Amino acid sequence: MKGAYLMSRIEIKGLTKIYGDTVALDNVDLSLEGETIYGLLGRNGAGKTTLLNLLTGKTHPTTGRVTIDGEPVWENDSALGNVFYMTEPNLYPQSLRVRDVLKWTAEFYPDFDVNYADELAQRFGLNTKKKVKELSTGYASIFKAILALASGAKILLFDEPILGMDANHRELLYKEILAHYSEKPKTIVLSTHLIDEIADLLEEVIIIKKGQVILKQTVEDLLASAHTVSGEASKVDSYIQGRKCIAWEQLHNFKSAVIFGSDQDRTLAKSLDLEVHQPELQKLFIGLTNS
Amino acid sequence: MHRIHSVAKYQIADNRNGVLVYYAVLIGLALIMVATPNWNSTGTTSLSGVSSMIFIFVLGLNCFRSSFLFCQANNISRRSFYFATILSLLVLAVILSLCDLVLDAVLGRYPFYEGFFEQIYPASGFAKILWTTALFTFSASLGWMITMIYYRANPWVKVLVSISPIVVITLAGYLHQRTDGVFGYALFVLLGKALGFSAQGPNPYPAMATFVLASMAIWAVNYLLMRKTPVRPY
């Protein structure tokens, strides 16, 4: 059972956003429970950032509504104050020093933990005396991620949080998000293209395709519902006949395919002398968004 | 309310250095004037008033984009940002009018100096603070409105707004000519009344009312511009 530390439920009803001739988001219904780490996945232009912008009132929906714990978010400070949204573009005053941004963020978020922010800055090697405009792309991401983690908000939304970060910093950030979540469970939404790297962090995935939510499922269930078979191409071909194959790769006579199927299917595949294993989340994502 | 207060606090702090530099320059100029023998022996000089009005207009021009984006980064509603901006501009107008009052009071001891307000109106003291505060509020609000129009507008509207003063002046000149000076005279009388100039002598109170009403009209326009303002990053 989820604890009662920072429960926050986001409810999205009939959300549509149209820019000119482009339907960025098409009648989306979604509900995000508290104390869960979600992965918001989708190809470029699928509508991920639009959805996050609508969740935080950055942009006005064409139709539909978003509520947090029953309160509409549009122009509502009490609902918006529960959320920290780490945007991909840098919205911070360019001439302000990092330490001043930390100070002012503490003014806007009463639960902001300045000591924790300082500690994270040290751990990531972020020089807080630098001006925002002097930060490299990677350090600008680190700076925004630190603000998010220290904000004390009940809901943290990360849009491309690891942009420009090197592998060491990415690893450190994933560990920090997990440690932070373990200590203070909350609703976290991670939107990124590096699916394999965050796969272990996620509890649920939301996949958006062409402005529509095509899947919302726990990672455990999603991975359990599919399997990868590999072996001789003719055997794989005969096995996938009549089954829901979402992706396949072939090299000479060796073929592997990702299939949605039951435990019985796995057993059958094994009996056909095919190798059966759990697919990677990224493979499933590619299959689902390509089909 | 907490967030309005916090944003206003940030905006005032953001302008603090600018205000300090501005008054440091004015004090420097005042020292030069005082130290120069026979400074302007034929007339009077004023350091405050017009220069402060222009300065706060520039503050108004700079009060929007960076601050708005910072507020969006902190999930502050547009409504809170709007009220905070009014609050911060009002506070800055009061600060500037008080600083001008002190500057005028100190320099007023010298024969070459007469404050801007004193050059126009016979009243002083409280009326001066109210008048300058109302004028500065109007000036700052005008700057804020212009910057918001430019932020919201597409390139065509930007061009239209940029050339609009030339169009208005040309049109006024044309109407003045076509009406044998009646239009210009009517405009002159209207402006005179709005600024409190009458046969009984100049009165600052109608001007205060004009500035307050004009500021409120600008705030109404800014509210409409603010409602669904998009976030346009740097």
Instruction: Give the minimum alpha-carbon distance from A188 to chain B in angstroms, rounded to a whole number.
Output: 16
- Give the per-residue pLDDT at A1: 45
Token digits of residue A37: 């780490």
Q: Please give the Cα distance from A173 to A24 (Å, whole number).
A: 30
Domain termination residue (choose one: A156, A183, A218): A218
- What number is the average pLDDT over the span A206-226? 94
Same domain for A272 and A207, yes or no, is no
Find chain A residues with C-beta within 8 A of B70's C-beta.
Answer: 91-93, 104
What chain B residue is nearest to A109 in terms of C-alpha separation?
A: B74
Is the per-residue pLDDT at A186 higher than 70? Answer: yes
What percent of chain B is predicted at pLDDT more than 90?
75
Does the distance separating the beta carbons of B75 and A80 come in below 8 Å?
A: yes
Compute the mean pLDDT over every residue in chain B, rounded to the nearest whole number: 92
pLDDT band per the 50, 70, 90 thresholds, residue A68: very high
Strand segments (E) across A160-253? 187-191, 204-209, 212-218, 226-232, 244-251
* Res A26: pLDDT: 96
pLDDT exceeding 70 applies to what percent of chain A?
A: 97
The continuous run of DSSP H or E covering A269 comes out as helix A263-271
**pLDDT tens for residues A74-133?**
999 999 999 999 999 999 999 999 999 999 999 999 999 999 999 999 999 999 999 999
**pLDDT (tens digit, 9 = 90+) per residue, B117-149?**
888 888 778 899 999 999 999 999 999 999 999
Does residue A167 share a domain with residue A115? yes
User: How many domains are contained in chain A?
Assistant: 2
Name the closest residue on chain B to residue A103, using Cα atoms.
B10
The CATH code of the domain that includes A274 is 3.30.70
Give the integer Cα–Cα distance in Å for B141 and A226.
Answer: 61
- Bridge-based pairing of strands A187-191 and A155-159 is parallel
A143 at B interface, C-beta within 8 A: no
CB contact under 8 Å between B77 and A104, yes or no, is: no
pLDDT band, residue A291 (cuts 50/70/90): low
Mean pLDDT of B172-201: 91
Q: Does B231 touch chain A (CB under 8 A)?
A: yes
* Distance separating alpha carbons of residues A170 and A163, to the nearest angstrom: 9
In a domain, A4, yes or no: no
B65 lies within 8 A of chain A by CB: no
Question: Domain locations in chain B?
Answer: 2-152+195-226
CB of B234 within 8 Å of any CB in chain A? yes
Residue A2 above 60 pLDDT? no
Q: Provide the Cα torsion B107, B111, B112, B116; round to 10°.
A: 60
pLDDT at B45: 77
Tokens for B162, please give them: 């940029």
Angle of helix B204-226 relative to helix B78-107, nearest 10 degrees, comes to 150
Of the partner residues A59, A85, A107, the one whose CB lies closest to the CB of residue B75: A85
pLDDT (tens digit per residue) in A254-278: 999 999 988 888 888 888 889 999 9
Shortest CA gap B5–chain A (Å): 10
pLDDT of B111 higher than 90 = no
Given the structure tokens 């129009």, which residue do they identify? B149
Task: Judge whether B223 is closer than 8 Å to chain A, CB to CB.
Answer: no
pLDDT at B40 exceeding the cut of 90: no
Among A50, A73, A83, A108, pick the best mutation site for testing chain B contact (most B Cβ within 10 A): A108
Task: Find the mean pLDDT for residues A8-13.
Answer: 93
**B150 touching chain A per CB within 8 A:** no
Question: Would you call A58 and B72 a contact, using CB atoms and an 8 Å cutoff?
Answer: yes
For residues A157 and A285, membership in a common domain is answered with no
Q: Are residues A37 and A171 in the same domain?
A: yes
Q: A109 to chain B: which residues are within 8 Å by CB?
A: 74
Mutate to test the interface with A, among B5, B74, B76, B229 (most CBs of A within 10 A): B74
Chain centroid to CA A238: 36
Same domain, A82 and A200: yes
Examine residue A1 and state whether it is found in any structural domain, yes or no.
no
Identify the pLDDT of residue A7: 65
How much is the average pLDDT of A161-168?
Answer: 95
Angle made by CA atoms B56, B70, A116, in degrees to the nearest 5: 130
CB of B9 within 8 Å of a chain A CB? The answer is: yes
Pair A109, A84: CB distance under 8 Å: yes
> Number of A:B CB contacts under 8 A?
62
Best A104, A109, A154, A158 member to test B by mutation, with max B CBs in 10 Å, is: A104
Are residues A72 and A193 located together in one domain of the fold? yes
Are A244 and A57 in contact by the 8 Å Cβ rule? The answer is no
Residues of A in contact with B82 (CB under 8 A): none
What CATH number does the domain containing A69 carry?
3.40.50.300
User: What is the residue range of A240's domain?
Assistant: 225-290
For residue A65, pLDDT beyond 80: yes
Question: Quick one: A86 and A24 in the same domain?
Answer: yes
3-state SS record for A196-207:
HHHCCCCCEEEE
The shortest C-alpha distance from A7 to chain B (Å) reads 19
Distance from CA of B225 to the nearest CA of A (A): 14
Model confidence band, residue B113 (pLDDT cutoffs 50, 70, 90): confident
d(C-alpha A92, C-alpha A129), whole Å:
15
- Does B72 reach chain A within 8 Å, measured CB to CB? yes
Mean pLDDT to the nearest integer, B153-181:
92
B26 touching A (Cβ < 8 Å): no
Q: Could you tell me if A285 lies within 8 Å of chain B, comparing CB atoms?
A: no
For residue B212, the distance in angstroms to the closest alpha carbon of chain A comes to 27
Mean pLDDT of B207-230: 96
Domain shared by A44 and A91, yes or no = yes
User: Can you give the pLDDT at residue B38?
Assistant: 75
Same domain, A71 and A107: yes
Say whether pLDDT at A4 is over 80.
no
What token pair was written down for B186? 């009517």
- Give the distance from CA A120 to its chain's centroid: 21
Q: Are A132 and A92 in contact (CB under 8 A)?
A: yes
pLDDT, mean of residues B175-204: 91
Which residue of chain A has the CA closest to B1? A77
Indicate if the alpha-carbon torsion angle A13, B152, B5, A107 is positive or negative. Answer: positive
Q: Among A134, A136, A158, which residue's Cα sits nearest to residue A146?
A: A158
Q: Is the ipTM of this complex over 0.85?
A: yes
Taking every pair of Cα atoms in chain B, the longest distance, rounded to a whole number of angstroms, is 58
- B75·A57 Cβ contact <8 A: yes
- What pLDDT digit, counting tens, does each position of B63-89 carry? 999 999 999 999 999 999 999 999 999
Cα–Cα distance measured from residue A210 to residue A288, given in angstroms and rounded to the nearest whole number: 12
Record: contact B73-A91, CB cut-off 8 A: yes
A71 touches B at CB < 8 Å = no
Bridge partners (DSSP) of residue A245 are A259
Q: Which of A60, A92, A107 sits opposite B6 (nearest CB)?
A: A107
